[in-house]
Amino acid sequence: MSAEHVQCMMYPNPQHNDAIIPTSTAAATSAFMRPNEDYTAAQAPTVVRQPSLPSAPPPIPRTITTRLYISHFLSTWNSRLFEYAAVLFLASIYPNTLMRMSIYALVRSGSAILFSPTVGRWIDKGNRLSVVRASIVWQRLAVAASCGIFWVLEWRVKSVRGGRGNDGMFAALVLLACVEKMASVMNLVSVERDWVVVIAGDRHAELQVLNARIRRIDLFCKLFGPLAISFVNDASVIAAVWATLGMNLASIVVEYLCIAKVYKFVPELQRPSRDHGTEQSLPALQPNRYRRNNRSLTTIMSQYLLGAVNLILPLKSLPFYFSHPTFLPSISLSLLYLTVLSFSGSFITFLLSSKVTSTHVGIARAVSTVFGLSATWIAPRIMGRIGKVRGGVWFLWWQMLSLAGGVAWFFSWNSNMGKAWGLVAGVIVSRVGLWGFDLCVQGIVQEEVDEAHRGSFSTVETSFANLFELLSYVTTIIWARPDQFK
């Protein structure tokens, strides 16, 4: 038996993990053989206390995550459902033209491009709970008012065609669509880019789980929200309007209370973020009152105008976005929206023109969503093993190779049906890479962008995503015939 083992038997101290360092092996052995004799100072073992390791933070309570998921589900479900329902309602009210639908979608996307940075400024500077509550209320009010107008127009569609009344109501619908879009962006960015980071704190593994589950909710609502309202709309357009209105009004109280409970249970959410140091406030851009007499009226008015524009459209968020180290992965994610190889309206129209039935399109879209959902389980494991940056590169290559295979099939096959199904297969498989890359970039942005600028950075990213999506529709306007799709 060694001397070290002997001393561990004599002086066990598992509570503090003390390291027992003997002065000499002979003295320790002698002490063991003569236990009744007193130790001298030279023979006494030296006990060194090692500092205890910091304990891991406790897991996030399920009461917090459950309420967060419920609130986010209700917000995303109603947003996706109304986005698709508005298309169905406009198609029923204006059956002989695509002009109204195009204007509606164009202005709605344009508002997201222009005003998302303003929303980001409110997110950064405002109280977290007040910002999310405002997004809930404004989104529900906009949807409720839109449903009222849709009901009136649908009820009058047989007796009133066009005219000033319809034009005025349509203009109101477009304005309400912009409000609903901005409220949706505010809620989405607040929860996904700020709240989950604060809730997770130093629990990096749990942050990845939160991101994956929230993305899972988004994809679920993206598939089943439009599907649910489509079934109701096939039976009756008026019933679909009432169903949209009822779900929005019924969910507002639950969503409002759930997000308030999350805010109450997490003290870090109640702490105000640091001052937003990159933006200049409106008073700083206004002319000094003591110098107004020495300046021309044109100079004074231009400075007031510049201050007002900066308040509405905080353009100074753009240099911050471009100079940030996370700019490249963020803009790469936005650029992925500049494509026709997704289950968007233009791609679905091409498939239908290639004699693919609407039932098969629906099945393919559902399978595509299943592949996207699988990425929410795969991505956290990949990031845990090789990191977010390498994981993002892997997922990006997955998407590129999948789409390249579909495009190669498209150009090598002879029949239109074979070309279409080759593209469908490539798009379906690429969804794993797309949403895996999305989760990797989201994790990078959450960690690298400081708390005071998360809203501004993320909403500028949203603006570019909407811009590139809009440009993809421009390409299908220029090359509009199905034979020009390639």
Domain coordinates of the chain in residue numbers?
62-270, 323-481
3-state helix, strand, coil in the chain (%, to 5): 75, 0, 20
Is the pLDDT assigned to residue 42 strictly greater than 70? no
Q: Is residue 316 a contact partner of residue 279, using CB atoms and an 8 Å limit?
A: yes
- The helix/strand/coil state of 485 is coil
Contacts for 317 with CB less than 8 Å, ≥ 6 apart: 117, 120, 121, 278, 279, 456, 457, 459, 460
Helix (H) or strand (E) holding 48: strand 46-48
Is the pLDDT assigned to residue 377 strictly greater than 70? yes
| pLDDT tens digits, one per residue of 60-99 | 888 999 999 999 999 999 998 998 888 888 878 887 666 7
| pLDDT tens digits, one per residue of 401-437 | 999 999 998 888 877 788 889 889 999 999 999 999 9
Q: How far apart are CA 50 and CA 19, in angstroms?
A: 7
User: Matching CATH topology for 62-270 and 323-481?
Assistant: yes
pTM: 0.71
| pLDDT tens digits, one per residue of 201-254 | 878 888 888 888 998 999 899 888 888 888 888 888 889 999 999 999 988 899
Confidence of residue 12 (pLDDT cuts 50, 70, 90): very low
Architecture in CATH for domain 62-270: Up-down Bundle (1.20)
Residue 20 forms beta bridges with which residues? 47
Q: What is the CATH number of domain 323-481?
A: 1.20.1250.20
